[in-house]
Amino acid sequence: MLTLLKQIFTWWNRDTFGTMLQTIFYGKLAGQDSFGNKYYESRNGKRWVIYSDEIDASKIPVEWYSWMHFTHNKIENNHILQKYDWQKPHQSNLTGTDQAYYPNKNKDGIEKKYKSWKE
- Residue 48 is predicted with a pLDDT of 93
Contacts of 20 by beta carbon, 8 Å cutoff, 6+ apart? 7
Element (H, E) at 47: strand 47-50
- Residue 30 is predicted with a pLDDT of 92
This prediction has a pTM of 0.62
Determine the Cα–Cα distance for residues 49 and 55; give it in Å rounded to an integer: 10
The series of mean pLDDT values per 10 residues for the chain, 119 residues long, is: 71 74 92 91 93 85 86 57 79 81 64 67
- Residue 46 is predicted with a pLDDT of 93
Burial class (CB in 10 A: 0-12, 13-18, 19+), 64: buried
